Amino acid sequence: MAELTNSTSIFGFLGQVNLFGAEVALDSIILTVIVIVAGFAIAHGVRLFTTRVIGSKLPHDARKNLGRTFYYGIIAIALLSALGVSGLDLSGVFLAGGIAGIVIGFATQSLVSNLISGIFLHFDKPMKVGDPVLITGKLPDVAGVVVEVTALSARFRMFDGTYVRMPNSDVFLSEIRNFSGAVARRVEFSIGVAYKEDTVEVIDVIKNSLMRTPLVLVEPVPDLYVNNLGDSSVQINVWCWVPFSVWFDMKKQLVEQVKRELDAKGIEIPFPQRVLHLPGPAKKKKPKGGPVSPESLDRGTSTGLHIEEFTDSD
């Protein structure tokens, strides 16, 4: 309950107001109202400036969240300033508010971290919607297409059709490999040929096949080399560059195309083979010490000398 006193203020109003047992100057109340109104007006102006000027290059969701952050931040500052000029003893309120702020801060630290990381992702632009990316490092690898980047999380469509949601802080702290960063991408595969084949001739056959393919780029030049001498074949690595938009289709086509070219030239592509040696029929030796009846040999109990010798026959 408020009770007016007889003293006057500098504005000609009553100087003191007894507000819930506390003497508060009337001009302090007027200044408090002015500060609050000015704070709301400034917050509204800053939000408009942020969304229309600073965040004009950001996605709609990020621009809206950035404007809200500035808006409520300025209002909070204005309310604290208004309480400061009101003349009220708010030490108890500030103490309780400080404790509550610490509790809320611990509870929302991940939320704030994701919000800030989302803003940094929009400014840094390591990826955009529609980009195929590979995210490695902090979490198990995530390979897919970017579907959406919101204020708190990013969503990806995996190459198997499933969807994955990741917090922005985890995405920002991970290694992001963006496969759409360049206009061309390298196709890599290896093929094994028999040891009897001439590797120089094999490389020429594959290179000519690549050069006749329209979508294989002339620059950089395709690179072919012997990479490994395997157990049953000589491994030849094939590297060539194709436009990014057709990379996956061209990789499937080139592997099949090279296989047909080598078959047409009679070049052998071996496969691992194993030779199994099976034991032949068992040969029984007669025990020493005299003849033994067939019945005892079959049972193996008369003399205890039932011996079998195995030989390998190829």
Higher pLDDT, 285 or 217: 217
Percentage above 70 pLDDT, the chain: 67
- What pLDDT sits at residue 94? 60
Q: Stretch 129-158: mean pLDDT, rounded?
A: 84
| Residue 114: band (very low, low, confident or very high) from pLDDT cuts 50, 70, 90 | confident
Element (H or E) spanning 285, and its range?
none
Q: Which amino acid is at 202?
A: V
CB neighbour burial string for 221-233, b if at least 16 within 10 angstroms, e if fewer = ebebeeeeeeeeb
- What pLDDT sits at residue 314? 41
- What pLDDT sits at residue 74? 83
Strands lying side by side in the sheet with 142-149? 163-167, 153-158, 142-149, 132-136, 175-178
- What pLDDT sits at residue 104? 64
Q: Which amino acid is at 152?
A: L
C-alpha dist (Å) from residue 47 to 40, 73, 113: 11, 10, 21
Residue-level length of the chain: 314
Q: Stretch 67-77: mean pLDDT, rounded?
A: 80
151 SS3 class:
coil
Residue 166 has pLDDT above 80, yes or no: yes
For 150-183, where are the E strands, in sequence order? Answer: 153-158, 163-167, 175-178
Residue 271 has pLDDT above 70, yes or no: yes
| Residue 311: band (very low, low, confident or very high) from pLDDT cuts 50, 70, 90 | very low
Strands lying side by side in the sheet with 2-4? 2-4, 16-19, 22-25
Residue 240 has pLDDT above 90, yes or no: yes
Query: Which residues is 2 bridged to in the sheet?
Result: 19
Predicted TM-score (pTM) of the model is 0.50
Tokens of 119: 């803003």
Residue 6 has pLDDT above 90, yes or no: no
CA angle 249, 253, 258 (to 5 degrees): 150
Average confidence score pLDDT of the chain: 76
For the chain, where are the E strands, in sequence order? Answer: 2-4, 16-19, 22-25, 132-136, 142-149, 153-158, 163-167, 175-178, 184-193, 223-229, 234-243, 283-284, 308-309
- What pLDDT sits at residue 174? 85
Percentage above 90 pLDDT, the chain: 15
Predicted confidence (pLDDT) per residue in 26-71, tens digit: 667 777 788 888 888 888 888 888 777 766 666 666 677 677 777 8
Q: Stretch 73-86: mean pLDDT, rounded?
A: 76
Q: Stretch 80-103: mean pLDDT, rounded?
A: 65
